[in-house]
Structure 1
Amino acid sequence: MAHPTASRQPSPSILPDVSWCAGPEGSAAHIPNPSGPAYAGRGPHRVVVGEFENLAADNTDDLDYKGGKEYSLPASWVSFKSDHLGQDASHAQLIVCLTGIRKRGTKAIGTCPDDSLDGKVYPVSYTYEVFEARTGRRVARTTMPSDDTVAASCKDIGQYVVGQGPAPAAQALKDETFQSWLRPLVLGPAR
């Protein structure tokens, strides 16, 4: 039986929810539904996407990252609410969390033109962790280098530091890169 693919289904934009990735002190992920579906057997394994609650505040590289990166995933991968207007952790098997962003060098790849403001865009590494929604067990972790264009990286930035000018922006990660890494976890057998 063939697995659903990204080419056959629309890729809705979804916004991460910080509540799924902000667990009790000493743990990485919140367990949104201990009575939810187990992460077991063959895929597809539905996901919800989040990010650590203090990701922007903990950013030691002072990059302009306000949180809430939009992700484009095949609809068949995402656990949606019945109205499809948001993610629903109660039916998810996996929680995908953006847990870190770190600058990879001192050389900018370009600048973001924003009227009179120009912020430099720097290559970064994105760290993601995937947790079983039912138990909070970490299933996977990876760090991926940013790879999108300057134009895509400049969307929705605009932090301006008084007396210093615009904050540097983090180079974006292409949806295809993120999907390629996540695909085996969603469509393959449980690990």
Structure 2
Amino acid sequence: MSDKDAGTPRVFLVRHGETEWTISGRYTGRSDIPLTANGEHQVSSSAAVIKALEGNSEITEDIREWEYGAYEGLLTAQIRAARKEKGLDKERPWNIWVDGCEDGEPAAEVAARLDRVIAKIREIQGPYMHGEKGVDVVLIAHGHILRAFAKRWIGFELSMRLPMMLEPGAVGVLSYEHHKVDEPAFLLGVNMGGNE
């Protein structure tokens, strides 16, 4: 954050640690897959970074992973092959951001629940755009939903192409430009020493 934006509230996106399914690229929604040893290390490292942000906590189902339905546990290639057998996607390959998931969630439902989370965060952070009170937020979730959250944060439709990655156990950061709640932005190059 530039000096002129110092003190602006942030939203930390924390992805869960590595599992066997994240290694293989399988869609993991509600399945409870244990972390690998590396995944446990990743989470420990990320926890050290966000420990200073401890405060009130709240759990919301609105930040849960995309409901993959029939695609839970499958690879993208398997999903596309199954859809092709059903005569779907004749003009272009399946794209979760556009097509959603069979027996799961369409993109519009995912966007609607993420927009509720964003509205609540902006309600909390809006009055404190110059750092008058510590109102940083930490979201801990799966990778796909956090990438969807980042798109919605900056006002993109989920169908808009925005290549981005968030490694297992990693921390991403969002904030606002010019201390304005209506100017959400990605925050690159975070100084983890804090806002002083």
TM-score strictly above 0.5: no
TM-score, scaled relative to structure 1: 0.25
| Higher strand proportion | 1
